[in-house]
Copies of this chain bind each other. A is one copy, B any other.
Amino acid sequence: MNIKTISGIFCIILCMTTAARAENGHQLWLRKGKANPVTIVCQGSSPILKNAVKELEAGWLGEPGSKLILSVGRDKRLKGDGFMLDSRGIHASTDKGILYGVYDLLRRQKTGESAKSVVSNPAYEYRLLNHWDNLDGSVERGYAGRSIFWRGDKDLAVTQNDRVLWQEYARACASVGINASVLNNVNASPRILDPEYLKRVKAIADILRPYGIKTFLSVNFSSPVRLGGLKTSDPLDKDVIRWWKVKTEEIYKLIPDFGGFLVKANSEGQPGPQDFGRTHADGANMMADVLKPYRGIVMWRAFVYSSQEKDRARQAYNEFMPLDGAFRDNVIIQVKNGPIDFQPREPFSPLFGAMKKTAVMPELQITQEYLGHSYQLAFLAPMWEECLKSDTYQEGKGSTVARCTDGSIFKYPYTAIAGVANTGLDLNWCGHPFAQANWYAFGRQAWDHTLTSEQIADEWTKLTFYNPDVAYGKSEKHGDWERGFLKPVKEMMLESREAVVNYSMPLGFHHIFSADDHYGPGPWFGPKSVRPDWTSVYYHQADTNGVGFNRTRSGSNAVSQYHEPLASQLNDVQTCPEKYLLWFHHLPWDFKLKSGKTLWDEICFHYDHGIQQVRGFQKTWDLTEPYVDKQRFLQVQNLLMRQTLDAQVWKDGCILYFQQFSRRPVPYDLERPVFGLEFIKKKRPILIFE
């Protein structure tokens, strides 16, 4: 791997000051170029406004000597931290709005988009990153180096390096509209609430604040026992409630604008209110009451599944729907986009729109846990767009997931959207140069879910690869670059997630990855000693008769959790979209698809198409060489080689495995496998190719 981990912050500073064109990716989409002089009129002088002015001065690509007015004041066209741009300058209701307006204006200059008459309001109030960073510095499902926040109990002192890095991080978040950050893993250590740690949390919060980022923490439900020494963590116990009150007060003394708690309770072994015979509502409400005086909120995760229920996809719905209306108004239920777990493709979770009396927020995963870690190019905007624009029909046609969660349909006091971060100490933050696009895209979609993936890819590619000295469209070579780089690279990005789906889990396949690392194929995983819903065989249900999970009315009836007409559409194999076919249906191998091909043949063609797509990406990228710096060119070129190999392993492993049941030949048009099934099972390709 060419990805370097930061050993000391000094090298970063060095890179940024003396070799700004080295293009190691550390500057993300905020590459520093030449700027024109500009005069800025700004009445306020808050730290946020100061940052706004500083950014404008450092990045202005408009007419040299222009004069810009930054004004703060109410306007009925504005909502929350929204802003307006016009020829005179930027207007917003809040200082944060000005900052967002500045980043938007600079982005428009760099990408050639008009800034003449813009009104832009955020879709969600809270646009959060969830960092699954452990206090020891490791990052759960992180593939870009160690944590940027934590280094373990023995290294809590805040260094100048820390401050520089956190500021860079805050700036990057703010530049795409992210305004909140949960600093630690949802599988939370109670230690995060220890005064020693809270001191470091305060230091982080102080650096994030001038960029408009609110600080949140994940908390462990049994903190009263494990940290406080109490005998119980029962949420209805007075001592427990008092403990949380005191702890919360302690936090707000350090961080007056602290955001609140994120809680994973009674999920995958984490403690929770059910341990004491209480409900999720009992637990969440107790915390909500404690936070209420400070305007803090509780984000309570719905990612729960007991080992009893026969269909894991039904469980979050089954467990939470009865509690609808039982939560305080400063509780938001955080729901993963799909009913299982961040698979390359899932239908949306049926909880969206179904919980009508409780605020619900989507949780998306930016880190590529199931989409190739930081080895594979997978632009995730299309995946999130697919979810957010899915119609739940819960309040009639057009009740998209986005509109069911952003307050348009249900008037929640708080709205939010979270993304599980993909950041780490890797010099380029995200490991894969194109993984940066997912951080970017999450921020942009969280601000405005009506944006298309194509628009976001267009912006990001220009910002990340175009000459940062030149406003877009003002270079002679602009047309060359557009044809030689922008167009093919955008096409590649937009195709990339579907390629991953094709070579790993096409046609509704899900959860057939290798169990230990969630990277390569593992449809064979099904030891008797493991609970069934942690195995692959549970999800694909392949046998000689057919394949797929029957979630129709004749099966687990998970379809009934969706609103009509969707429930009936998904229930009927003739109307169920083929991309969800094996998610909802168990079908014979010779079932005829719309293409006229049998299910088996179509499975083979999808796997094959996946690897062909990645081979195509390799060709596409090779042709961009004249338009991109050597460093990133070679890094991506190498990564795409590996991705083709990974696609081969996926394709071969899955085709050979399922062929044992289908007992049918691979269609003649397709290349035969090259990795044997036993080889793939025995040798862990991820280990081999590193």
By a beta-carbon cutoff of 8 Å, the part of chain A in contact with chain B is 615, 618-619, 622-623, 625, 638, 640-642, 644-645, 648, 665-666, 668, 671-676, 679, 683, 688-689
* Contact between B673 and A641, CB atoms less than 8 A apart: yes
* Contact between A622 and B666, CB atoms less than 8 A apart: yes
Give the CA-CA distance A675 to B672 in the complex, in Å.
19
Give the CA-CA distance A642 to B652 in the complex, in Å.
12
Give the CA-CA distance A640 to B652 in the complex, in Å.
14
A461 to chain B, nearest CB (A): 21
Beyond the given pairs A615-B671, A641-B672, 9 more chain A to chain B contacts, judged by CB atoms under 8 angstroms and listed by A's residue number, are A618-B672, A619-B668, A619-B672, A622-B665, A638-B676, A641-B675, A642-B674, A642-B676, A683-B688
A-B contact pairs, 20 of them (CB 8 A): A615-B671, A615-B672, A618-B671, A618-B672, A619-B668, A622-B666, A622-B672, A623-B668, A625-B665, A638-B676, A641-B672, A641-B673, A641-B674, A641-B676, A642-B676, A644-B674, A645-B674, A648-B674, A679-B689, A688-B688
A304 to chain B, nearest CB (A): 41
Residue of A640, A674, A676, A683 with highest tally of chain B CB at under 10 A: A674
Query: Which residue in chain B gives the minimum CB-CB distance to A689?
Result: B679
**List of B residues within 8 angstroms of A622 by Cβ:** 665-666, 668, 672
**List of B residues within 8 angstroms of A673 by Cβ:** 641
Give the CA-CA distance A652 to B429 in the complex, in Å.
30
**List of B residues within 8 angstroms of A615 by Cβ:** 671-672
Residue of A638, A672, A683 with highest tally of chain B CB at under 10 A: A672
A676 to chain B, nearest CB (A): 6
A687 to chain B, nearest CB (A): 10
A239 to chain B, nearest CB (A): 59
**List of B residues within 8 angstroms of A689 by Cβ:** 679
Give the CA-CA distance A642 to B679 in the complex, in Å.
11
Query: Which residue in chain B gives the minimum CB-CB distance to A643?
Result: B674
**List of B residues within 8 angstroms of A676 by Cβ:** 638, 641-642
Give the CA-CA distance A641 to B676 in the complex, in Å.
7
Give the CA-CA distance A619 to B672 in the complex, in Å.
7
**List of B residues within 8 angstroms of A688 by Cβ:** 683, 688
* Contact between A644 and B618, CB atoms less than 8 A apart: no
A649 to chain B, nearest CB (A): 11
**List of B residues within 8 angstroms of A671 by Cβ:** 615, 618
Give the CA-CA distance A619 to B623 in the complex, in Å.
31
**List of B residues within 8 angstroms of A640 by Cβ:** 672
Give the CA-CA distance A389 to B526 in the complex, in Å.
59
**List of B residues within 8 angstroms of A683 by Cβ:** 688
**List of B residues within 8 angstroms of A665 by Cβ:** 622, 625
A562 to chain B, nearest CB (A): 41
Query: Which residue in chain B gives the minimum CB-CB distance to A647?
Result: B674
A674 to chain B, nearest CB (A): 4
Give the CA-CA distance A393 to B84 in the complex, in Å.
89
**List of B residues within 8 angstroms of A618 by Cβ:** 671-672
**List of B residues within 8 angstroms of A619 by Cβ:** 668, 672
A149 to chain B, nearest CB (A): 33
Give the CA-CA distance A666 to B623 in the complex, in Å.
10
Q: A672 touches which one: B644, B648, B668 (CB < 8 A)?
A: B644
**List of B residues within 8 angstroms of A666 by Cβ:** 622
Give the CA-CA distance A303 to B640 in the complex, in Å.
46
**List of B residues within 8 angstroms of A648 by Cβ:** 674
Query: Which residue in chain B gives the minimum CB-CB distance to A644?
Result: B674
Give the CA-CA distance A683 to B688 in the complex, in Å.
9
A646 to chain B, nearest CB (A): 9
Query: Which residue in chain B gives the minimum CB-CB distance to A617?
Result: B672
Query: Which residue in chain B gives the minimum CB-CB distance to A665?
Result: B622
**List of B residues within 8 angstroms of A668 by Cβ:** 619, 622-623
Give the CA-CA distance A166 to B674 in the complex, in Å.
37
Give the CA-CA distance A640 to B671 in the complex, in Å.
12
* Top-10 shortest CB links A-B: A618-B672, A644-B674, A645-B674, A641-B674, A615-B671, A641-B676, A688-B688, A641-B673, A638-B676, A622-B672
**List of B residues within 8 angstroms of A675 by Cβ:** 641, 645
Give the CA-CA distance A622 to B641 in the complex, in Å.
28
A97 to chain B, nearest CB (A): 47
A493 to chain B, nearest CB (A): 18
**List of B residues within 8 angstroms of A674 by Cβ:** 641-642, 644-645, 648
**List of B residues within 8 angstroms of A641 by Cβ:** 672-676
A663 to chain B, nearest CB (A): 11
Give the CA-CA distance A668 to B622 in the complex, in Å.
9
A471 to chain B, nearest CB (A): 31
Give the CA-CA distance A683 to B645 in the complex, in Å.
15
A468 to chain B, nearest CB (A): 27
A39 to chain B, nearest CB (A): 48
Give the CA-CA distance A679 to B623 in the complex, in Å.
23
**List of B residues within 8 angstroms of A623 by Cβ:** 668
Give the CA-CA distance A665 to B618 in the complex, in Å.
12
Query: Which residue in chain B gives the minimum CB-CB distance to A637?
Result: B672
Give the CA-CA distance A64 to B618 in the complex, in Å.
65
A424 to chain B, nearest CB (A): 23
Give the CA-CA distance A129 to B313 in the complex, in Å.
67
Give the CA-CA distance A668 to B641 in the complex, in Å.
15
**List of B residues within 8 angstroms of A642 by Cβ:** 674, 676
Give the CA-CA distance A671 to B672 in the complex, in Å.
16
Give the CA-CA distance A683 to B666 in the complex, in Å.
31
A217 to chain B, nearest CB (A): 42
**List of B residues within 8 angstroms of A679 by Cβ:** 689
A55 to chain B, nearest CB (A): 40
Give the CA-CA distance A673 to B642 in the complex, in Å.
9
Give the CA-CA distance A292 to B671 in the complex, in Å.
60
Give the CA-CA distance A675 to B674 in the complex, in Å.
14
Query: Which residue in chain B gives the minimum CB-CB distance to A618?
Result: B672
